Amino acid sequence: MTLGSLLFEAAARLAAAGFEEPRRRARGLFAAALDCDRAHLVGHPERELDAGERERIAAFLRRMLAHEPLSRILGRREFWGLDFALSKATFDPRPETETVVEAVLKELEDPGAPLRLLDLGTGTGVLLLSLLSELPNASGVGIDRIEGAAATARGNAAALGFEGRARFLVGDWGGAVLGGFDGIVANPPYIPTPALASLPPEVRCHDPRAALDGGADGLDAYRAIARDLPRLLVPGGIFACEVGEGQAAAVGEILAASGLLFAGAAPDLAGIPRALLARLPRRGGRIQKTGWKRERSRLGLRCGGLVEKRWVPRRALEASGSVTPPRTRMRRSPP
Ligand SMILES: C[S@@+](CC[C@H](N)C(=O)[O-])C[C@H]1O[C@@H](n2cnc3c(N)ncnc32)[C@H](O)[C@@H]1O
């Protein structure tokens, strides 16, 4: 059987089962199963597939028809241009989480400093390891409640060559570590418990519940984390987290109640406020926000009481070849 006819048949089966964009999905599946790029599929429809290739495609297609995401089938996910292994214990990292990495990098005053980072709810370790890939002298700790997730993150750190700068522990948020962190990142579970049942099967059946369930209103993890931030951060240290759609203002209030100052919010590629940034006030000093008014009126952006910064994730910038758009700067007044 030829590549072209098998591809046509697979797309037809996906379409009949109600999958959106069946041709694109089928091409992704074939490229992964045959370990080739999509251009090869289009350019060689007449190629005869051997029995091993046909079996591999059939096995992948069965799993896709059962709503298993391709990243789960392959056990791998690309994030921030790096290759991460997944496991049953880990959340499958989503592209929008790159917004958090981008926001932190833009906020750091000295990327060459020996920064100490903490990643709460680390999963595969994507947030910490992506930051370490950009910050040559930084080191960090990733914490997850699930032992299997910490083990997967350790494996990713070793495979990416960061084992000397990253440690992964099992724990309940930051309870097991002492303070002194210059930056803390988190992408905690934020789906309200009543909404879990209506998630698509690709999410509900394959991401661990511990990675999704944010309690009755979706905000339990933010409350737990925020309580500990003043102890964990150095004065002037930054906290960045991902938030669910419509949660930015509520999470902002939780952070403010813990004494943190807002440093901004960044939208993802869909324009949804996705990353929130806050700072612990510096001792004897005051953080001034400059350019807020001008930025607000120019962009006309608001989310709750927060003004958003127009940051665009790196992938989008690279795709468009454009330069970093203007942003609001943080300045500290002299003590
Ligand atoms: C949405 S996932 C994010 C994983 C990863 N940071 C990412 O962005 O792909 C949330 C993670 O928080 C972890 N988690 C949930 N409750 C926790 C707790 N009390 N303490 C530490 N980690 C927790 C989950 O096991 C899961 O790995």
Distances, alpha carbon 35 to alpha carbons 3, 5, 29, 124, 224, in Å:
13, 18, 10, 23, 43
Let me know if residue 265 belongs to a domain. Answer: yes
- The residue whose CA has the least distance to atom 13 of ligand 1 is 121
Give me ligand 1 centre to Cα 168, in Å: 13
Cα(127)–Cα(98) distance, rounded to whole angstroms? Answer: 8
Q: Is 97 in the pocket of ligand 1 (CB under 6 A)?
A: yes
- Selection from 232, 312, 243, 227 nearest residue 277 by Cα: 243
Let me know if residue 154 belongs to a domain. Answer: yes
Instruction: Read off the pLDDT of residues 157-209 as tens digits, 9 standing for 90 and up.
Output: 999 999 999 999 999 999 999 999 999 999 999 999 999 999 999 999 999 99
* Number of domains the chain contains: 2
Statement to judge: residues 190 and 58 lie in one domain: no
Statement to judge: residues 219 and 314 lie in one domain: yes
Cα 25 off chain centre by: 22
Cα(177)–Cα(175) distance, rounded to whole angstroms? Answer: 6
Mean pLDDT of 202-226: 97
Q: Is 91 in the pocket of ligand 1 (CB under 6 A)?
A: yes
Which is the closest atom of ligand 1 to the Cα of 149? 27
Look at residue 250 and tell me whether its pLDDT is greater than 70: yes
Look at residue 143 and tell me whether its pLDDT is greater than 50: yes
Look at residue 311 and tell me whether its pLDDT is greater than 70: no
Rounded to two decimals, the pTM is 0.85
Instruction: Please give the pLDDT value at position 155.
Output: 98
Boundaries of domain holding 252? 79-333
- Give the mutation target among 145, 204, 243 for probing the ligand 1 site: most ligand atoms within 8 A of CB: 145
- Give the mutation target among 96, 144, 173, 222 for probing the ligand 1 site: most ligand atoms within 8 A of CB: 144
**Average confidence score pLDDT of the chain:** 87
71: which residues sit within 8 A by CB, 6+ positions away?
77, 86, 92
Look at residue 216 and tell me whether its pLDDT is greater than 50: yes
Statement to judge: residues 207 and 276 lie in one domain: yes
Q: Is 143 in the pocket of ligand 1 (CB under 6 A)?
A: yes
Let me know if residue 74 belongs to a domain. Answer: no
Q: Is 210 in the pocket of ligand 1 (CB under 6 A)?
A: yes
Give me ligand 1 centre to Cα 191, in Å: 12
Q: Quick check: 174 and 226 in contact, CB under 8 A?
A: no
Per the model's pLDDT, the better-predicted residue between 231 and 311 turns out to be: 231
Let me know if residue 297 belongs to a domain. Answer: yes
Instruction: Please give the pLDDT value at position 316.
Output: 43
Q: Is 146 in the pocket of ligand 1 (CB under 6 A)?
A: yes
Q: What is the CATH number of the domain that holds 258?
A: 3.40.50.150
Q: Is 225 in the pocket of ligand 1 (CB under 6 A)?
A: no
Statement to judge: residues 114 and 241 lie in one domain: yes
